[in-house]
Amino acid sequence: MFKRLAPLLIGSLCAAAQASPQMADTQLQALASERYWLLLGHYLPSRLDGWRSYVDDDAFFLADEGATSPAAELQATLEGLYADPAQGNDHVQCKYPARTRWLREQLQLSDLPSPDCGEYRSWYDDINPHATVLVFPDAYLNSPSSMFGHTLLRIDSPDTQASGTTLLTYALNFGAMVENMDNGILYAWKGLAGGYPGQFSLLPYRDKIGEYSRLENRDLWEYQLNLTPEETARMVEHVWELRQVRFDYFFFDENCSYRLLELLEVAKPQLHLTEQFPLTAIPADTVRAVREAGLITDVTYRPSRERELLAQAEPLTSNELDWVTRLAADSAVLKDPDYQAIDSQRQALIQESAYRLIRYQSSGQERDQASADRSYQLLQAINQNPPPKLLIDTPTYPEYGHESRTWQLALGSRDDRAFAEYGLRLAYHDLADNLAGFPLGAQIELGTLNIRQYQGNHWQLEELGLVSIRSLTPRNQLLKPWSWQVATGLERVAGDDDKRRLVPHLNGGGGFSWNPVNDLQTFALATLRVEHHQDADEALSPAAGFNAGLLWRNGLGNLLMETSNDFFTNGEVRRSLKLSQHWELGTDLGLRLRASREFSHRSDPENEVSLQLRWYYY
């Protein structure tokens, strides 16, 4: 009988010996309030009382109330650490290595069981984390998810750092999980409303390089961070805990940049990066926060294929650019007597430009044998007559541009009525703003509010803009992009009896932009507009028209002159002429002179002039 009971008694004694340590409630609460434990659970103070976690996935928590109780989650984790090691990869120690390490250190747990965590160990050894690089793919207006840029982390091993083979490293990314059938408009709406789940992913860095710099033609900035190997290891430990874990994804706050700042805080808990972004987390602003925290030690700039192509073709004449397009279409042109008569040094530039044009045109396309053959023949010609090494000037670092939120104060008059105007823009850049760190001809404005105070203390809402996007990319002999714009919100327009009405509107348009000389862009777009005007007979008033103008980069800043013309189906014709000259007083300070003249059959022509002070801050 004793022999039968002995194994059971021994097992019971072992289980008792490996039971989780008992802690007083005060000790448990104190440990659960430690900053590092809160970081591991992604907890933040609740709006009412207590805590809530950013993690929106019950599978992440061990306790039923773990999403709102750091103490309950800690207790459940502590109990799980002493579970039967036969659970193997499903053991709490294997699923939560960062929690395990921290609790072992805090409570000096020397009696933990030793499960076989083969999956985690194999994954961790493959990454072999040693150093961290913050990567910023620049803004890309033609993708709703990339209009503000993006951030991800590159995890380098000791071997890749020493050999310089960074393409063999891993990229740590956080992004929205998007259904394939969603179009751009639905994507933007669901992204604003938190309609997508977000997840972390770890994939080869070379794949992300291809996606951003080639498929989307985005410049890449790589910021070497001064995290120690131990700090990088802590972060990667926690990434394993977040596998397949879902967060709600929002474009403007709980996005890629915000989530990565949380990881940096896990790596280095003394950082307080996320606290700087209570409303929005624009990627360029988060890069600036990382720099101001003293984490950046070095920067590498990787130009996109488009930028390389344009830089290579810049010294070519119009006639030589024609040869570029002919060579890219048919490599047999290499044997054309007229081409062979061109000076060999100019041929070298033409051939290299043609080769880069083929690579640009094939970006994102399935492999085409004819294109591959043309590329190969051009490469042979290039090897026989190589061009000089291409040197591309590094643009202003994105984090050195103006900050994204703007306060505005203006004084002006409208038809002899003086006014003061107070304005706020949540994000982030318009055509005339301080240009350093931004491309000329790009505009993204979100959440603009302008309130006027006229003489006699008459206050009124002048404008409430929800979104205004303009992409004026110049066409040239090699590239033929479209320019486009879209805007929606509330604005004041002419009404009956010389009154100005506040109308909701949606408008957009498409057309072309040109760069006739350096620092000058001209544009012309066909437009469509629909609005609700209380003085109109119909509920919705549609209009077609056009928008044209020029944008000149001058010694003071940017000058924008444009005309808009809308022809409504109800017979109303509305025209406007506008001029803005912006003085760049500093990175985060500007002064803008605005003048306009508006025409409508509903009222007499109206003139307006104002001087506006703009302060950029976050």
Examine the pLDDT at 463 and tell me if it is beyond 70: yes
| 593-612 average pLDDT score | 94
pLDDT of the residue at 204: 85
**Torsion of Cα atoms, 351 then 357 then 359 then 365, to 10°:** -150
Residue 109 amino acid letter: L
The pair phi, psi for residue 88, each rounded to 5°, is: 60, -125
| 316-329 average pLDDT score | 95
pLDDT of the residue at 12: 39
Do residues 264 and 235 touch, judged by C-beta distance below 8 A?
Answer: yes
The 3-state DSSP class for residue 474 equals: strand
H or E stretch covering 91 = none
Do residues 156 and 133 touch, judged by C-beta distance below 8 A?
Answer: yes
Sheet holding 296-302, edge to edge: 247-249, 196-204, 170-176, 152-156, 131-137, 220-225, 296-302
Could you tell me the pTM of the whole model? 0.87
CB-based contacts of 121, cutoff 8 Å, min separation 6: none
pLDDT of the residue at 253: 58
Examine the pLDDT at 42 and tell me if it is beyond 70: yes
How does residue 553 score in pLDDT terms, banded at 50, 70 and 90? very high
pLDDT of the residue at 6: 43
pLDDT of the residue at 378: 94
| Rounded Cα gap, residues 166 and 233, in angstroms | 18
Mean pLDDT of the chain: 88
How does residue 17 score in pLDDT terms, banded at 50, 70 and 90? very low
Query: With pLDDT > 70 as the criterion, what percentage of the chain qualifies?
Result: 89
| Rounded Cα gap, residues 391 and 441, in angstroms | 24
Nearest to 399 by CA among 308, 555, 293, 553: 293
| Rounded Cα gap, residues 163 and 144, in angstroms | 37
| 45-66 average pLDDT score | 88
Do residues 303 and 287 touch, judged by C-beta distance below 8 A?
Answer: no
